[in-house]
C-alpha cells in the first residue's frame, strides 16, 4: 500500500470494531432493559398522555414525562424509560460509534484498491455495515431477539479476526534483531554492548516482548540467553517459550543463533540456551551459527561468536564488550576480624557515573584481565557510592579467590574496574510488606532495600531473617539494623546462629510459618531470598514451598541465589 497513513489506519480497524461493538452492545443493553443500574423512575399518573409533549420515533410515540423523564408509550403500555442524562449519554455513545463505523467504511472502500488488503478491507466493510444497522434495526423492528443480535456482532468480529491473518506483516528497516533473556542483567548488558556496535543494522528487544510474528519479520535473530534454577529459562523468557512450544512447525526464512550464557560449575551448563536452540529448529527456523556456550561471561567466547555474527551481517567491528568504569575505594572494613577464616569485608567504592536500584549487582573485573568478572550484590542505596559485603573466598587448596582476595585487600584511594548490572527481578516492590531472607553475604541487598524504604519514607512493614555462624563474630551491619529497628523501618528481625546456637534459617521460618503465611496471603508481602544456592538456598526454598500458598509462590517470591 502506497500511503503509510492508510496502512496504519487499516491496521487499527479490528481494534476500533471491537470498541464499537462494546459501545453498541452497551446501548442495546440499555434498551433491552438488561442494564438498569438500579434506577427507579417514579412517574405520577397522568390524566391525559396527549397533554405531554412528545415526538414520533420509528412509528412509536415518545413522551416527556415530568421530572425530565423520557418514555416510549405504545398502545397504552410503557416501554423503555430514561432520564434526560441517560438519553444524552446513550446518544453520545451511539453518535461516536456510528461516526467510527462510517470512517472505517470509507477507508475500507479506499483500501479495497490494494490487492494485499482486499480481503481484510472487504470483511471490515461488511462488519462495520452490520454493526451500523444492527442496533438501529433492533430498535425499529419490534420482536428482534437480543441473543440473535449478539450472534451477529460476534460473527462479524470473528470474520474480521480471520481476515486479519491475510494482512501482510509490516516490514521493518533492520534485517536483524538481537534478543536477550536475562535474570541478573548480564545477558541484557551483553546484548546492549553488541547492539551498540551494529545498531544501524539491527534492532534489540527483550524476550518478554517477543512474538512469533516479530521473529518471522526479521531475516536473522540472535539470542543472548542465560540459564537459571536447574537448567531453566530466565523468568522473562517463560511466556515466549510457552508460545513457541504451542506454535505449529513451518519452514521459515528466519535464521537464528543462540549465545548461551552459563556457569560450568552447574551440571545443567547452558541448558536453556541449548533447549531454545533446538526448539527454534524444531519449529522451522534455520540455525545460522552453532549454539555457543559462554562460561561466566568469558569475553573470548563472546568475541568469537560476535565475529561469526559480523561475517553474516558483513561487518568487521570488534566490540569493546566489557566497558568497566573506574571505581575509587573510599573505605574497606573487616567486619569479623576475630574470625580465622571466612573474613567478611564492607567495601565502599565511589564512581561519579554509578546509577543503580536496590537489588542491582556490581560486576567486578579481577586484576588479571583475561579472568571472568564476579558479581556482588550492592548494599547501598545512594548513587555514586557503592557498598559491597565481600567474603574472602578460600579455595580447596587454601589459596584466596581472585576477585574476593583483591577486593578485601584494597585500601582507600585504590582503583577497581567495575560496572553495574541491572537485576530487575530482584528490585523490591514498593508499598507492600517485605520478608527478606538472607545468609552470609546474602544480607547485602537487604541493607539496600531498607535504605530505600528509609529514603522513600515507605511505611510498609519489613521482616528480616538472617543466618550466619557465630553471634559474637558475624553480626554484620548490626548497628545499621538496630537503627532501622529504632526508626520503625525494620519491623521484625530474626537471626539464626548455626555454630553458636545450632539454629538455621529454615528452623526460624518453620517456627513463624503461620505469621509468614498471613503476611504473604493476607497482607500481600513479597518474599526475597538471597544467599548461596547450595545448602542455604535449597533448604529455604524447600521450607517456603510448604509455607507459601501456590499462587503467591509464583508471583510474590524472588530469589538471588549464587
Ligand atoms: C540461581 C542461579 C542458577 C543458575 N543456574 C544455572 C544453570 O543451571 N546452568 C548454567 O549454565 N548456569 C546457571 N547459572 C549461571 C547464569 O546462567 C550465569 O551467571 C549467567 O551469566 C547469568 O546471566 P544473566 O545475568 O543475564 O541472567 C545460574 C545462576 C544463578 C544465580
Instruction: Give the rounded percent of residues in the chain with a pLDDT score beyond 70.
Output: 85
**379 and 293 assigned to the same domain:** no
Q: Work out the angle between the directed axes of helices 118-140 and 13-32 (0-180°, nearest 10).
A: 10
**365 and 404 assigned to the same domain:** yes
Measured from the Cα of 562, ligand 1's closest atom is: 31
Name the more confident of 48 and 178: 178
Region of poorest pLDDT, from 141-145, 149-153, 176-180: 141-145
Measured from the Cα of 297, ligand 1's closest atom is: 21
Please give the distance of CA 386 from its chain centroid, rounded to a whole number. 27
**Domain holding 461: CATH number?**
3.40.50.80
Measured from the Cα of 180, ligand 1's closest atom is: 26
Express each pLDDT in 437-461 by its tens digit. Answer: 999 999 999 999 999 999 999 999 9
Name the residue of 194, 262, 270, 363 to mutate for ligand 1: max ligand atoms within 8 A of Cβ.
262
**199 and 258 assigned to the same domain:** yes
**Domain holding 396: CATH number?**
2.40.30.10
| Angle at 389 (CA atoms; ends 531, 438), nearest 5 degrees | 25
Is 331 within a domain?
A: yes
Please give the distance of CA 233 from its chain centroid, rounded to a whole number. 15
Model pLDDT, residue 486: 97
Is 170 within a domain?
A: no
**467 and 378 assigned to the same domain:** no
Give the domain-ending residue among 164, 192, 213. Answer: 164
Express each pLDDT in 185-210 by its tens digit. Answer: 899 999 998 888 887 788 899 999 99
Q: Of 437, 476, 533, 438, which is closest to residue 339 (Cα–Cα)?
A: 476
Cα 413 to Cα 435: distance, rounded to the nearest angstrom: 37
Q: Using a 6 Å cutoff on CB, does residue 185 contact ligand 1? A: yes
**17 and 125 assigned to the same domain:** yes
Does the pLDDT of residue 216 top 50, yes or no? yes
Q: Of 401, 344, 419, 372, which is closest to residue 185 (Cα–Cα)?
A: 419
**183 and 159 assigned to the same domain:** no
Q: Using a 6 Å cutoff on CB, does residue 297 contact ligand 1? A: yes
Q: Using a 6 Å cutoff on CB, does residue 183 contact ligand 1? A: yes
**156 and 218 assigned to the same domain:** no
Q: Using a 6 Å cutoff on CB, does residue 229 contact ligand 1? A: yes
Backbone torsion region of residue 38, taken as left when φ is above 0, otherwise alpha when ψ lies between -120 and 50, otherwise beta: left
- As to burial, measured by CB atoms within 10 angstroms (0-12 exposed, 13-18 middle, 19+ buried), residue 275 is buried
Model pLDDT, residue 145: 58
> How many folded domains does the chain comprise?
4
What is the number of residues in the chain? 562
**443 and 544 assigned to the same domain:** yes
Measured between its terminal Cα atoms, the distance across the chain in Å is 53
Does the pLDDT of residue 140 top 80, yes or no? no
Model pLDDT, residue 49: 55
**153 and 263 assigned to the same domain:** no
Model pLDDT, residue 252: 85
Is 71 within a domain?
A: yes
Q: How confident is the model at residue 69 (pLDDT cuts 50, 70, 90)?
A: low
Q: Using a 6 Å cutoff on CB, does residue 186 contact ligand 1? A: yes
Q: How confident is the model at residue 94 (pLDDT cuts 50, 70, 90)?
A: confident
Give the domain-ending residue among 400, 423, 446. Answer: 423
**96 and 154 assigned to the same domain:** yes
**133 and 281 assigned to the same domain:** no
Measured from the Cα of 230, ligand 1's closest atom is: 8
DSSP category for residue 168: P
Q: What is the 373 CA–ligand 1 centroid distance (Å)?
A: 14
Radius of gyration of the chain (CA): 32
Which range marks the domain in which residue 551 is found? 428-561
Q: What is the 227 CA–ligand 1 centroid distance (Å)?
A: 5
Q: What is the 427 CA–ligand 1 centroid distance (Å)?
A: 18
Measured from the Cα of 185, ligand 1's closest atom is: 25
Q: How confident is the model at residue 76 (pLDDT cuts 50, 70, 90)?
A: low
The arithmetic mean of pLDDT across residues 297-316, rounded, is: 85
Cα 191 to Cα 194: distance, rounded to the nearest angstrom: 5
Cα 181 to Cα 236: distance, rounded to the nearest angstrom: 6
Q: Using a 6 Å cutoff on CB, does residue 263 contact ligand 1? A: yes
Give the domain-ending residue among 313, 348, 367. Answer: 313
Q: What is the 304 CA–ligand 1 centroid distance (Å)?
A: 21
**304 and 271 assigned to the same domain:** yes
Is 169 within a domain?
A: no
Amino acid at each position: 500500500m502506497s500511503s503509510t497513513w492508510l496502512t496504519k489506519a487499516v491496521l487499527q480497524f479490528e481494534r476500533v470494531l471491537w470498541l464499537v461493538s462494546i459501545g453498541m452492545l452497551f446501548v442495546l443493553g440499555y434498551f433491552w432493559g438488561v442494564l438498569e443500574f438500579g434506577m427507579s423512575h417514579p412517574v405520577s399518573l397522568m390524566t391525559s398522555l396527549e397533554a405531554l409533549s412528545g415526538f414520533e420515533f420509528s412509528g412509536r410515540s415518545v413522551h416527556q414525562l415530568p421530572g425530565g423523564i423520557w418514555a416510549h408509550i405504545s398502545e397504552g403500555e410503557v416501554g423503555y424509560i430514561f432520564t434526560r442524562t441517560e438519553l444524552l449519554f446513550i446518544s453520545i455513545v451511539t453518535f461516536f460509534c456510528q461516526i467510527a463505523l462510517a470512517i472505517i467504511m470509507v477507508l475500507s472502500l479506499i483500501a479495497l484498491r490494494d490487492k494485499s488488503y482486499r480481503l481484510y478491507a472487504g470483511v471490515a466493510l461488511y462488519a462495520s455495515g452490520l454493526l451500523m444497522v444492527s442496533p438501529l434495526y433492533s430498535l425499529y423492528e419490534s420482536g428482534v431477539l437480543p441473543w440473535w443480535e449478539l450472534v451477529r456482532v460476534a460473527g462479524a468480529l470473528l470474520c474480521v479476526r480471520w481476515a486479519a491473518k491475510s494482512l501482510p506483516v509490516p516490514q521493518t528497516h533492520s534485517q536483524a534483531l538481537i534478543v536477550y533473556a536475562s535474570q541478573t542483567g548480564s545477558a541484557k548488558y551483553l546484548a546492549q554492548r553488541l547492539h551498540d556496535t551494529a545498531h544501524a543494522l539491527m534492532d534489540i528487544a527483550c524476550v518478554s516482548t517477543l512474538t512469533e510474528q516479530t521473529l518471522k519479520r526479521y531475516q536473522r535473530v540472535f539470542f543472548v540467553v542465560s540459564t537459571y534454577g536447574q537448567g531453566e529459562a530466565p523468568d522473562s523468557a517463560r511466556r515466549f517459550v510457552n508460545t513457541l512450544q504451542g506454535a505449529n512447525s513451518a519452514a521459515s526464512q528466519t535464521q537464528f543463533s543462540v549465545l548461551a550464557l552459563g556457569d560450568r560449575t552447574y551440571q545443567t551448563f547452558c541448558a536453556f540456551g541449548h533447549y531454545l536452540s533446538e526448539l527454534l529448529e524444531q519449529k522451522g527456523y534455520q540455525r545460522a551459527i552453532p549454539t555457543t556456550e559462554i562460561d561466566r561471561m568469558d569475553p573470548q567466547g563472546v568475541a568469537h561468536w560476535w565475529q561469526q555474527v559480523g561475517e553474516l551481517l558483513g561487518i568487521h567491528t570488534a566490540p569493546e564488550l566489557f566497558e568497566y568504569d573506574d571505581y575509587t575505594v573510599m573505605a574497606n572494613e573487616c567486619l569479623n576480624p576475630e574470625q580465622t577464616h571466612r573474613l567478611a569485608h564492607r567495601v565502599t567504592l565511589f564512581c561519579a557515573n554509578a546509577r543503580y536500584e536496590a537489588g542491582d549487582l556490581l560486576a567486578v573485573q579481577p586484576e588479571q584481565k583475561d579472568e571472568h568478572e564476579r558479581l556482588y550484590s550492592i548494599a547501598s542505596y545512594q548513587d555514586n557510592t557503592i557498598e559491597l559485603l565481600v567474603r574472602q573466598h578460600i579455595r580447596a587448596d587454601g589459596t584466596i579467590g581472585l576477585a574476593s582476595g583483591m577486593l578485601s585487600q584494597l585500601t582507600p584511594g585504590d582503583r577497581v574496574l567495575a560496572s553495574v548490572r541491572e537485576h530487575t527481578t530482584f528490585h523490591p516492590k514498593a508499598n507492600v510488606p517485605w520478608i527478606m531472607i538472607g545468609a552470609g553475604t546474602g544480607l547485602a541487598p537487604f541493607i539496600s532495600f531498607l535504605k530505600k524504604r528509609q529514603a522513600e519514607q515507605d511505611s510498609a512493614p519489613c521482616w528480616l531473617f538472617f543466618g550466619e555462624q557465630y553471634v559474637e563474630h558475624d553480626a554484620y551491619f548490626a548497628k545499621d539494623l538496630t537503627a532501622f529497628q529504632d526508626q520503625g523501618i525494620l519491623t521484625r528481625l530474626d537471626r539464626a546462629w548455626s555454630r553458636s546456637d545450632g539454629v538455621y534459617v529454615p528452623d526460624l521460618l518453620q517456627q513463624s510459618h503461620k505469621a509468614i503465611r498471613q503476611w504473604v496471603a493476607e497482607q500481600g508481602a513479597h518474599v526475597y531470598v538471597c544467599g548461596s544456592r547450595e545448602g542455604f538456598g535449597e533448604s529455604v526454598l524447600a521450607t517456603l514451598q510448604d509455607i507459601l500458598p501456590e499462587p503467591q509462590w509464583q508471583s510474590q517470591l524472588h530469589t538471588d541465589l549464587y
